[in-house]
């Protein structure tokens, strides 16, 4: 797997708007983003990937999903089910 880093790792404006409309009182995940912004970026993981090969999923997303999964107390199956509707 190779890494083709994405330069913009922030949450799209429309996604943020919908999240805030869905959770007007906020959530732990929204508060984390508000306080810390983008925690990880692809460039943080670039040294872990070879230069050639099939492109990998964005590692910053995978790292963030793992942290949020832990914070929410979700099993791997529950996290996968929660993400399935986003694709």
Nearest to 62 by CA among 40, 78, 32: 40
pTM of the model: 0.55
* Residue 77 domain flag: yes
* Residue 7 domain flag: no
For residue 21, what pLDDT band results from cuts at 50, 70 and 90?
Answer: very high
Decide if pLDDT at 77 tops 70: yes
Decide if pLDDT at 85 tops 70: no
Average pLDDT over residues 43-70: 81
Decide if pLDDT at 86 tops 60: no
* Residue 34 domain flag: yes
Left (φ > 0), alpha (ψ -120 to 50) or beta: where does 26 sit? left
* Residue 2 domain flag: no
* Residue 1 domain flag: no
Q: Are 66 and 83 in contact (CB under 8 A)?
A: no
pLDDT for position 8: 66
* Residue 50 domain flag: yes
Number of domains in the chain: 1
Q: Are 46 and 3 in contact (CB under 8 A)?
A: yes
- Greatest Cα pair distance, the chain, in angstroms, is 45
Range of the domain at 57: 13-84
Kindly state the DSSP code that residue 55 receives in the 8-state scheme: B
* Residue 45 domain flag: yes
């Amino acid at each position: 797997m190779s890494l083709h880093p994405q330069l913009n790792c922030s949450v799209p404006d429309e996604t943020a708007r919908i999240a805030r409309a869905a959770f007007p009182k906020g959530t732990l995940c929204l508060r984390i983003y508000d306080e810390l912004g983008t925690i990880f970026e692809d460039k943080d993981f670039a040294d872990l990937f070879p230069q050639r090969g099939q492109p990998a999923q964005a590692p910053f997303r995978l790292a963030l999903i793992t942290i949020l999964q832990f914070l929410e107390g979700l099993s791997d199956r529950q996290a996968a089910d929660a993400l399935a509707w986003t694709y």
